[in-house]
Amino acid sequence: MEELQSVLENEGLTVTFDPMKGRCLIANKDFSPGEVILREEPYVCAPKSFASEAVPVCQGCFKTSNLKKCSACQLVWYCGRSCQLSDWKMHRLECRAISRLDMNWRNVVAPDICLMVKLYLRRKLQSDKIIPTTATDNYKLVESLVAHMSSISEQEKFLYARKAEIVKLILQWPDINDKQTVENFSKLSRNTHTITGSQMEPLGIGLYLVISLINHSCSPNTVLVFEGKEAVIRAVQQIQKGDEVFVSYIDTGAATMSRQDDLLKQYFFTCTCSRCLSHDPVHDDIDGSFKCMNDKCSGVYESNFGRWFMMDYINLGDMQKALEYCRLTMPTYQRVYAGFHPLLGLRYYTSAKLEWVNGNKVIAVDHLDKAVDILKVTHGTETPFMKDLLGKLEKARGGAPFEF
């Protein structure tokens, strides 16, 4: 932990211990909105392309275009020689293990199972000193994660036990401890993050050991985004020296009771953040009113229906109808994702595109402006997505024709 503290101090951070929350990440300096607090590569990660129905993703950089499949295992994709070589120490073992399975078994290798296989392979590679161990990149940090075995249900334990059997089948290591694997599955369930693209589309899952130190708030002062598979924590509020760094584990757009229920079921704690303690029951009733009154209905938000309808009409090419549903859901997004939230920024971007193609260019430029104001805080300005977006805004302001 001393080595980890030393590394984090260079980033303006420190780890403390709270009797109620456990480990906490504290700012040792001031951070302004948009400032990068932390960057971290995953200890292990797995693209969703391991699921047979998923879009292929490069295992090296998480790009989704111009990919070629590994000819041996027929499961892993790469965008080119560079990514294949950079991943070879890990994939050499992974490929050999997966290739032992027949194709029917390979089709059931879910991302979390693949992640567990990689966890043990990385532990072995570091133990054998084939890949280096650092203060922020070592298996001891995995061991320090809490498994919550006394809190999870028997059904969940049974599921993890079945997955542990598949891991053993893939690796064929006689010394694998089933109990440890079950505990590790529980740790991964509570500590992995969904790796998303620039527009928040899910691409895979990853275990980020330093980011796992960050506690939850429903009104977080940071946001987690990804540049490839690298996780980036940026401030979205002014953070003073001595403040705790928070990130949200869940969708903050849900009503208080729904958020509390999700956190208790998945993470086994009741949130006591300022938003939960000072929640307005009227606002929760408003959120509840978006649910279908039919008890037999699954009870999703109307805003979700609007989003689905909007995307359906976009896919059908009916941009007028898509715009109607975009406008219908915008007030909900503005209310539940207030401030610098990537989902609000991306909704403004979608709205700008729809307003533009429907001939409403003044509104389109205004919404594109709003999108950029938010997304340059959450995403920075140097990624290809943001450079493209800034270029579109410049063209739109000048009235020049361009393609969204």
What pLDDT score was predicted for residue 402? 60
In whole angstroms, what is the distance from residue 383 CA to residue 236 CA? 18
Residue identified by tokens 């330093």 is: 210
Give a yes or no: residue 380 inside a domain: yes
Mean pLDDT value across the chain? 90
Q: What's the confidence (pLDDT) of residue 280?
A: 65
At 290, is the pLDDT very low, low, confident or very high (cuts 50, 70, 90)? very low
What's the mean pLDDT in 123-136? Answer: 97
Evaluate whether residue 158 is within a structural domain: yes
Question: By the 8 A CB rule, do 234 and 380 touch?
Answer: yes
Give Dmax (Cα) for the chain. 67
Q: Which of 161, 193, 225 is the last residue of a domain?
A: 193
User: Where a domain ends, among 145, 166, 193?
Assistant: 193
Q: What is the CATH number of the domain that holds 360?
A: 1.25.40.10
Integer Cα distance of 129 and 52 in angstroms: 34
Q: Is 387 helix (H, G, I), strand (E, B) or coil?
A: helix
Residue 389 reports pLDDT greater than 80: yes
Q: Is residue 320 part of a domain?
A: yes
Q: pLDDT higher for 29 or 309?
A: 29
257: Cα separation from own chain's centroid: 23
pLDDT one-digit tens code per residue, 9-21: 999 999 999 998 8
Could you tell me the pLDDT band of residue 282, with boundaries at 50, 70 and 90? low
On whether both 63 and 183 belong to a single domain, the answer is yes
Q: 255: which 2 tokens? A: 């009503």
Can you tell me the mean pLDDT for 362-389?
A: 96
Count of structural domains within the chain: 2
Residue 198 lies in a domain: no
d(CA 363, CA 352): 7
Domain membership flag for residue 246: no
Per-residue confidence band for 289, with pLDDT thresholds at 50, 70 and 90: very low
Same domain, 54 and 188: yes
Q: What average pLDDT does range 54-69 have in this prediction? A: 92
**Coil, helix or strand for 255?**
coil
Query: Residue 170 domain-assigned?
Result: yes
Which of the four pLDDT bands, split at 50, 70 and 90, describes residue 399? confident
CB 239 within 8 A of CB 31: yes
DSSP secondary structure string for all residues of 353-373: HHHHHTT-HHHHHHHHHHHHH
Q: Quick check: 261 pLDDT over 80? A: yes
Spatial neighbors of 397 by CB under 8 A, at least 6 apart, are 365
pLDDT band with cut points at 50, 70 and 90 for residue 198 = very high
Q: Quote the domain boundaries for residue 393.
A: 290-397
Do 305 and 168 lie in one domain? The reply is: no
Q: How many Cα atoms sit within 13 Å of 212 on the Cβ side? A: 24
Q: What is the sign of the dihedral through the CA atoms of 115, 117, 120 and 126?
A: negative
315 band by pLDDT with thresholds 50, 70 and 90: confident
Distance, in Å, from the CA atom of 351 to the CA atom of 368, rounded to the nearest integer, reads 8
- Residue 173 forms part of a structural domain: yes
How far is the C-alpha of 399 from the C-alpha of 393, rounded, in Å? Answer: 10
Least confident of 76-80, 99-103, 359-363: 99-103
Domain boundary among 193, 214, 249: 193
Cα–Cα distance, 211 to 156 (Å, whole number): 25
- 354 falls within a domain: yes
What's the confidence (pLDDT) of residue 104? 75
For residue 125, name the pLDDT band (cuts at 50, 70, 90).
very high
Query: Is the model's pLDDT at 184 over the cut of 80?
Result: yes
Per-residue confidence (pLDDT) for residue 119, from 0 to 100: 98
In this predicted structure, the answer to whether residue 365 has a pLDDT above a threshold of 70 is yes
Confidence of residue 308 (pLDDT cuts 50, 70, 90): confident
